[in-house]
């Protein structure tokens, strides 16, 4: 095991990294970066608000970044898009679970959300991820998003004043009785592999 691990709480990509080089790629030049080194994965997990009892598994992607995932945790990246010409929104979802990647590309016309444009797609993407977690009996779900309302409506940091955001908050309330849901903000268009993939899937749902 490496002598140190690095936890990035705010950066191009968040998570636990095995080397300073990998950590540096996420935080160097990133405004407001938050990161810290630790001797153990458990300490790093506590810093990121992950639960201590979860076992870590290393996941490597083609960009050479290394993040830590957990064997009873599902990770979801969500994003949204909108096409004004057809008045429809799209949702892109990337699910990472049990060593597999699953993707979803969904078109929507929910009138209670449509005026929120691409945010509507991101909301529906988050709902899809939550439902997928319930359907697969997942203990913990970590949702990576780029529009801050995805988290703030759920935790009541923002008031849900519209019908669509109230439905979203209520949906979260029900799912959170069964699944431990955490949120992680990703800076939009920052080169994060899975965030970019979710963005592409959202656009593809609308034929863009």
68-94 pLDDT, tens digit per residue, is 455 568 999 999 999 999 999 999 999
Q: What percent of the chain has pLDDT over 70?
A: 84
Predicted confidence (pLDDT) per residue in 95-126, tens digit: 988 778 899 999 999 998 999 999 999 999 99
Domains of the chain and CATH, by start: 5-70 (3.40.970.10), 73-204 (3.30.420.10)
The residues near 61 (Cβ < 8 Å, ≥ 6 apart) are 193
Report the distance separating Cα 76 and Cα 145, nearest Å. Answer: 9
Taking the whole predicted model, whether its pTM rises above 0.85 is answered as: no
What dihedral angle (degrees, nearest 10) is formed by the CA atoms of 206, 185, 59, 136? -70
How far are the Cα atoms of 50, 90, 105, 154, 181 from residue 109, in angstroms, in the given order? 35, 9, 14, 22, 26
Per the document, the length of the chain is 208
Q: What is the mean pLDDT of the chain?
A: 84
Per residue in 23-68, pLDDT (tens digit) is 888 888 888 899 999 887 677 777 877 543 333 444 444 443 334 4
């Amino acid at each position: 095991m490496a002598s140190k691990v690095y936890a990035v709480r705010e950066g191009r990509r968040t998570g636990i990294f095995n080397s300073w080089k990998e950590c540096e790629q996420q935080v160097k030049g990133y405004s407001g970066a938050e990161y810290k080194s630790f001797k153990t994965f458990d300490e790093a997990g506590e810093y990121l608000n992950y639960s201590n009892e979860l076992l870590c598994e290393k996941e490597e992607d083609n960009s050479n970044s290394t993040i830590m995932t957990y064997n009873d945790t599902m990770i979801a990246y969500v994003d949204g898009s909108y096409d004004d010409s057809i008045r429809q929104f799209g949702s892109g979802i990337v699910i990472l679970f049990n060593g597999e990647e699953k993707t979803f590309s969904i078109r929507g016309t929910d009138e209670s959300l449509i005026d929120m444009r691409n945010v509507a797609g991101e909301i529906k993407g988050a709902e899809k991820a939550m439902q997928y977690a319930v359907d697969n009996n997942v203990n913990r779900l970590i949702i990576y998003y780029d529009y801050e309302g995805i988290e703030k409506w759920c935790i009541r940091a923002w008031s849900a004043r519209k019908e669509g955001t109230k439905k979203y908050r209520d949906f979260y309330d029900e799912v959170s009785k069964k699944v431990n849901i955490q949120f992680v903000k990703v800076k939009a268009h920052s080169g994060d592999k899975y965030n970019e993939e979710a963005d592409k899937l959202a656009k593809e749902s609308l034929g863009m």
